[in-house]
Amino acid sequence: AQNVPNSDWEKKVTEYFKEKLKENNATNWVPSLNDVPVHYLKPNSLVKFRCMVQDMFDPEFYMGVYETVDPNTKARVLHFGKYRDVAECGPQQEIDLNSSQTVTSERQTFYCVPVPGESAWVKEISFLTEPVQARVSPSTSYTPSRHKRSYEEDEDMDLHPSKQKEQHMGKSCCSGGDIHGCVEPKRLETEASAGHHVISPNCSPPLDLNFPLPGEKGPACLVKVYENWESFKVNDVLEVFGVLSVDPVLSIVNSEERDGSSLDPMECMDTAEEQRVHSPPASLVPRIHVILAHKLQHINPLLPACLNEEESKTCEFVSNFMSELSPVRAELLGFLTHALLGDSLAAEYLILHLISTVYARRDVLPLGKFAVNLSGCPRNGAFTEHLYRLIQQLVPASFHLRMSIESMNHSRFIPHKDYTANRLVSGLLQLASNTSLVIDETQLEQGQLDTAGVHNVTALGNLITWQKVDYDFNYHRMEFPCNINVLITSEGRSLLPSDCQVHLQPQIIPPNMEEYMSSLLTAVLPSVLNKFRIYLSLLRLLDYSISDEVTKAVEDDFVEMRKNNPESVTADDLHKMLLVARFLSLSVGQTTLSRERWLRAKQLEALRKARLQQQQSVNGNEL
């Protein structure tokens, strides 16, 4: 009998939250796990988390509805098990595991990590847009006591309606038990922090939180999804809203299990590692019970989260920005020209590269990828290092990969499945869509690559050519498509494949690279910098088409070019030119190809090729 109203109730909760969060910037009021350390957040409160799905665990069966019984009075109470980890019951009660009222439901757990390589400015800006944060701590350090208060207020605002609602909904079948399980928040909180200290010595080797990139910080999270989990994929970037669960009981239950008697038959089901990975201490890896989750198109906080919607607000934003597009482009070009030591052609190509994205796949061929090989870079690492820093300031997520024999042989590029712990151990190449990967080949010396190194280089090659990474599942490999912008800096032509090689021609050699670059960055106003950021993220999302006339013109052009010199222009070249034309048009905000742009694209390509010829790179068979 419970089932029918039950499902209704569940739907209404989601609807309610969806509505509430739409209202004037309500999302900004929800504290984010990205910015606030877990122990400052109240358990069982509403939180949000911007993250990437790193791994998917097995589905869980949990007690959707369970019954507790008081052994003395035999009073029976029904409880809801949704949105929580632990089946709560009062001190005088026991859970009746054999009750016929018990409803088993299913949910899916995702292991989520913060978006790998997320730029500092993304964190900063999204942090600042949160009014609470802005109000309380404009500076760096936290002031825990005040925070707590503010979150409590915060939580009251957001949670109370839902609480009432839930109570209201649940009343029919539940004799007044507290549904939300808000058992004296204060006590729990002290327990949580206490548990934090007690438990950490327990797990002797530090828990590997499995971040794809080294040196990442931020909480990893077990995200429990209750519906539509099939629609999410590994490496998707999500924003989830849900109930935070850091119940210390979880850790107790687990640790009990760990040193429980060996007679327990369930004990042998999982190895110790698996236990550790799948139920880590809640203080380290909190759980979020998702009420709402959606995929993010981008993580740039300067843009409206969803651009597809026909909302007046987004349209306005886009058209406003489009009107001032050309000055922004000019300024960005100037900025990058300086960054590339005065080489405007390379700067032009860099813009095209930064707004490129895989927009479609034609059977195996990814369309729209534009990996650039910037050759002729000065040998000392300083240049690429600083160039990366500038790029980091412009794109929401990036990673700098310094190639060396050592790093090739010893780092983990390809994610692989660890069957003992039953998880996908992450690798450098497990990146979210539209991450900028800057590969520095200038530091690479001659040397011997071992098996791992060869695999790594092959994986990089596949990533660039096919925009996919073959994850290693030991007994088989599995292909995960990706969408990563790869920029390779090298002295000669890179050993990695690329779509287009641009040879750098520095006009100026600054005596002090560091000074030069940092002065460049400080010279840009923050507001202008933000415009650059919007520019790069926004243009990537625009649609594009080619009219029939232009198609005809391109055809004629191609035939003409081949007539004159069939050796020089191949189908590959046409591919490249069309790509350049596409991004060139988009970079000035045009969504269709015009004749002028086509000619400009041809011109750019010709310039680039002339440079290569000049460089006399005795290339083999590639170009």
Partner 1 sequence: MSSPASTPSRRRGKRGRGSNPPTPQDARSPPSQKRRTDDSTSTGDLQPMPTSPPADVQSPGAADALFSSPPQFRHSAIPLDFDVSSPLTYGTPSSRVEGTPRSGVRGTPVRQRPDLGSARKARQVDLHSDGLAEDVVATEQSLGQKLVIWGTDVNVASCKEKFQRFLQRFIDPLDKEDEDIGLDLNEPRYMQRLQEINMVGEPFLNVNCDHLRAFDENLYRQLICYPQEVIPTFDMAANEIFFDRYPDSILEHQIQVRPYNALKTRNMRNLNPEDIDQLITISGMVIRSSQLIPEMQEAFFRCQVCAFTTRVEIDRGRIAEPSVCKNCNTTHSMALIHNRSMFSDKQMIKLQESPEDMPAGQTPHTVALFAHNDLVDKVQPGDRVNVTGIYRAVPIRVNPRVSSVNSVYKTHIDVIHYRKTDSKRLHFVDEETEQKRFTEERVEMLKELSKKADVYERLAFALAPSIYEHEDIKKGILLQLFGGSRKDFTHTGRGNFRAEINILLCGDPGTSKSQLLQYVYNLVPRGQYTSGKGSSAVGLTAYVMKDPETRQLVLQTGALVLSDNGICCIDEFDKMNESTRSVLHEVMEQQTLSIAKAGIICQLNARTSILAAANPIESQWNPKKTTIENIQLPHTLLSRFDLIFLMLDPRDEAYDRRLARHLVSLYYQSEEKMEEEYMDMAVLRDYIAYARSYVNPRLGEEASQALIEAYVDMRKIGSGRGMVSAYPRQLESLIRLAEAHAKVRFSAKVETIDVEEAKRLHREALKQSATDPRTGIVDISILTTGMSATARKRKEELAQALRKLIQSKGKTPSLKYQQLLDDLRAQSDTAVTKEMFDEALRALADEDFLTVTGKTVRLL
Site for partner 1 in 39-68 (CB under 8 A): 55-56, 58-63, 66
Q: Does 541 bind partner 1 (CB under 8 A)?
A: no
Residues 131-160 that bind partner 1 (CB under 8 A): none
Structure tokens at 189: 């909180």
Q: Which window, 3-11, 155-163, 210-218, 229-237, contacts partner 1 (CB under 8 A)?
A: 229-237
Q: Which of 405, 528, 541, 607 binds partner 1 (CB under 8 A)?
A: 405
Q: Does 230 bind partner 1 (CB under 8 A)?
A: yes
Q: Does 178 bind partner 1 (CB under 8 A)?
A: no
Q: What string of H, E and C letters represents the secondary structure of 294-360?
A: EECCCCCCCCCCCCCCCCHHHHHHHHHHHHCHHHHHHHHHHHHHHHCCCCHHHHHHHHHHHCCCCCE
Q: Does 305 bind partner 1 (CB under 8 A)?
A: no
Q: Which of 5, 37, 90, 334 binds partner 1 (CB under 8 A)?
A: 90
3-class secondary structure, 141:
coil
Q: Does 549 bind partner 1 (CB under 8 A)?
A: no
Q: Which is nearer to partner 1, 132 or 421 (CB)?
A: 421
Residues 567-586 that bind partner 1 (CB under 8 A): 567, 570-575, 578-579, 582
Q: Which of 1, 4, 120, 266 binds partner 1 (CB under 8 A)?
A: 266
CB of 284 to partner 1, least distance (A): 17
Q: Does 466 bind partner 1 (CB under 8 A)?
A: yes
CB of 152 to partner 1, least distance (A): 24
Q: Does 608 bind partner 1 (CB under 8 A)?
A: no
CA atoms of 582 and 575, how far apart (whole Å): 11
Q: Does 441 bind partner 1 (CB under 8 A)?
A: yes
Q: Does 422 bind partner 1 (CB under 8 A)?
A: yes
Q: Does 71 bind partner 1 (CB under 8 A)?
A: no
CA atoms of 395 and 536, how far apart (whole Å): 7
CB of 535 to partner 1, least distance (A): 22
CA atoms of 299 and 437, how far apart (whole Å): 16
Kindly tell me the burial class for residue 394, based on how many C-beta atoms sit within 10 Å of its own C-beta (0-12, 13-18, 19 or more). Answer: buried
CA angle 428, 433, 434 (to 5 degrees): 100
Which one, of 117, 121, 120, 73, lies nearest residue 93 by Cα? Answer: 73
CA atoms of 382 and 513, how far apart (whole Å): 7
Cβ(371)–Cβ(388) below 8 Å: no
Q: Which is nearer to partner 1, 10 or 441 (CB)?
A: 441
Q: Which is nearer to partner 1, 27 or 490 (CB)?
A: 490
Q: Which window, 11-19, 127-135, 309-317, 611-619, contacts partner 1 (CB under 8 A)?
A: 611-619
Q: Which is nearer to partner 1, 182 or 520 (CB)?
A: 182
Backbone angles phi, psi at 564, to 5 degrees: -65, -45
Q: Which of 323, 410, 419, 523 binds partner 1 (CB under 8 A)?
A: 419
Q: Does 440 bind partner 1 (CB under 8 A)?
A: no
CB of 320 to partner 1, least distance (A): 27
3-class secondary structure, 595:
helix
Residues touching partner 1, count (CB under 8 A): 113
Q: Which of 10, 35, 67, 88 binds partner 1 (CB under 8 A)?
A: 88
CA angle 283, 289, 292 (to 5 degrees): 135
Q: Which is nearer to partner 1, 72 or 616 (CB)?
A: 616
Q: Which of 448, 522, 527, 564 binds partner 1 (CB under 8 A)?
A: 448
Q: Which residue has the tokens 């979880």?
A: 250
3-class secondary structure, 369:
coil
Structure tokens at 26: 């309500």
Cβ-count burial 54-87 (b if 16+ within 10 Å, e if not): bbbbeeeebbbbbbbbeeeeeeebbbbbbbbbeb
Which one, of 509, 526, 514, lies nearest residue 393 by Cα? Answer: 526
Q: Which window, 42-50, 310-318, 361-369, 507-515, contacts partner 1 (CB under 8 A)?
A: 361-369
Cβ(52)–Cβ(236) below 8 Å: yes
Q: Which window, 196-204, 323-331, 420-428, 524-532, contacts partner 1 (CB under 8 A)?
A: 420-428
Structure tokens at 317: 């934003």
Q: Which is nearer to partner 1, 492 or 510 (CB)?
A: 492
Backbone angles phi, psi at 389, to 5 degrees: -60, -40
- Report the length, in residues, of the chain: 623
Q: Which is nearer to partner 1, 308 or 451 (CB)?
A: 451
Site string for partner 1, 362-401 (x = CB under 8 A): xxxx-x----------------------------------
Q: Which is nearer to partner 1, 512 or 613 (CB)?
A: 613
CB of 83 to partner 1, least distance (A): 11
